[in-house]
Structure 1
Amino acid sequence: MNATPFARSWVEHANGHADFPLQNLPLGIFSRPGEARRCGVAIGEAILDLPAVLDAGLLDGQAKVAAEAASATLNALFALGQPARLALRERLLVLLAEGSEHQAALRPLLYPAHACQMHLPAQVGDYTDFYVGIQHATNVGKLFRPDNPLLPNYKYVPIGYHGRASTLRPSGVEVRRPKGQTLPAGHSEPRFGPCARLDYELELGIWIGQGNAMGEAIDIGKAAEHVAGLCLLNDWSARDIQAWEYQPLGPFLSKSFITTLSPWVITAEALAPFRCTQPARPEGDPQPLPYLLDAQDQTQGAFDIELEVLLLTARMRDAGMAPERLALSNSLSMYWTVAQLVAHHSVNGCQLQPGDLFGSGTLSGAGQGAYGSLLEITEGGKHPVQLANGEQRTFLEDGDEVILRGRCVREGVASIGFGECRGRVVAAN
């Protein structure tokens, strides 16, 4: 399933690469100028053209079936499930490993990543955003209910809502400041205009592989088998619009204007070395109901992924400055595992389909340096962020670019990363 911990590739720039060494091999959809979209594999600073590898006759068996399914989207490949992904991965490990006899055939099929355009990996039929970062839920709850930040259901049921699939976009697409209704402080009636409290949210994206038939729940013990891989997700949020609209049904226009995804699917197989025990619930917390509880999932259903938020303002960009880190967090802040989200989503008979996407919810850690949104960092805008160049931010301004990064690090195993999830704010129309 995985390359030996520190196996090397004949693609020299992949060796020691921060995100895409041989041990990663994420899947994505790319295009070159004037050419059609197709599936690629990230290796170092390059993209391997998978259809071209297929045409070269270098794939057979299940690996060939997988490559044939990966066309302009990954939906059909996701539908094949783990065996096909695993076969493709194992063949790619052989082809790209140091000493491979196929180097001469493969070199022309590697394209510089900077010369390619990335697209969404799959056609998303449905997008669901969860709320499983308990530190974030607690921090936000304290702003509105200081004595009772978490509502009674939070520790019993994974909270989620249906998002808008039509406005999912890959990293690099501009973020147009949304307009909507807001209720200014001290006013009794709303006004309409551009959002003044634009925010980001640091999340993981969860790509669904094989789905389920309508009316048939996915068992918690098999739920992990329905996950194709993960990505980074920025759930951009218009906090002033949200504050006015969210009661009684929850987020709507405050979230649906855009959601940004990192374009590479970090497969479940690549992430296997970074699975770990789900953090123990605090003493006194309820045990999950039986349909959400599986011993194996509790012992190896969590992921240890370091998550980072950086900000690059227009002034910093003009001065040639590097982006400034706003937060360093970890996916271990998830109160529920990925498998529990899959089991819960389907328990009522809801049909999940290949290429469906989940958002984890904001993944904040403990303390200011680990908060995954400006809402938390500034305590609702009360305490501006002081940047190193003298600028301040309570919420995002036009020209600001938010950059999310993810990295898996474990002793004795080659580190892998997610690539970047970027979005620059531009003025409202």
Structure 2
Amino acid sequence: MGAADVEAVWRIESARIVAALTRFTGDFGLAEDAAQEAVAEALVSWPTAAPANPAGWLMATARRRAIDAIRRRAALHDRYALLAADPDAAPSFDEASDSDRIDDDVLALMFISCHPVLSREARVALTLRVVAGLSSEEIARAFLVPVPTVQARITRAKKTIAAAGVPFELPAPDERRARLGGVLSVLYVIFTEGSTATSGDRLVRTDVAYEAIRLARTLAALQPDEPEVHGLLALFELTAARFPARTAPDGSPVLLEDQDRRRWDHAAIHRGLAALVKASARGLGPYGLQAAIAATHASAPTVEATDWDRIVVLYEALGRVAPSPVVELNRAVAVAMAVGPAAALSIVDDLIARDRLPGSHLVPTVRGELLTRLGRHLEARAELELAARLCTNQRERAVLLRKAAALP
């Protein structure tokens, strides 16, 4: 077994291993460190002596590393004495795999990784590290930040959790519901970065997006009665369904109106629609409404045949439950398709007058498109060139400059 095999086992089992070790040791940071040491040992030993039960090997090795660490901590002498007296009391992999217990453990791990005492950047890094099983190098590559920055965020996050005395337990039902929004927002940030990268030379980072989908599926299985969890999963599935048609072979973006809809992933569309049905059980929340918008696109054979009036209504509803300038900007795009560019331009100009999205390339991008449709080409070119200057994604910038150059 080589490094790829170790990585595959770790990616699948990491959350279960870290969760079980955290319950065992009562120390989240120690559990994650011990698990990482086990992976490092696997990279050395598995190529020459592959274990019959790789996941069990990782659990047992990580458990030994945790016990060694506890032995070295004088302040935890009593806990070590308990472990030393009965080392077999530590969970085996089979014991840790009891479905009810592991479900609770993994869910608790997600709530710890997304705890409100952490910054958003720390929550994202920690979730990808301990729940998704990504390495620091993979996280750094995904978000285009230096590896030491990721490592520092993870280290600070673990110290913050320890200093705050965050217990390894599921929050009470009322608190869990209140904190669930934070967990969902972290997954949303991860998926958004994957579906439309904020910088770099790739429009879509499918590896990042699919990790967010995998985590959302896990959360939906653990919290089947929470409609917004299914709403988020539906949004991810329906958005990712368009990935195969969003870029050309050379990596350049393909706009929605030019996409070959036969290349959309129709299995993902079906999964998304099924999740949307579950999300609709008690009325759609913010993620469910966004999923309903994505579903309207997914069910239309062409851009022209899209039910733009319905999309406008959905954006209006979204603007009431989760108001934001980005929602307003997207509503303007839908209004342009449903009514015409003049009505949409007034919405965009109002956003500019209120300085709602300063420094964003999205506003001049949309304004340039609307001015183009209105035949105001000189103004449109200026807006598109401004958008290109503000845009940090090389692929998007190239499209904007190409559009500006094509104007008469």
Give the alignment's TM-score, normalised by structure 1. 0.25
Q: Which has the higher contact order (CA 8 A, sep 6+)?
A: 1
Higher strand share goes to which structure? 1
Higher helix share goes to which structure? 2
The structure having more radius of gyration, on CA atoms, is: 2
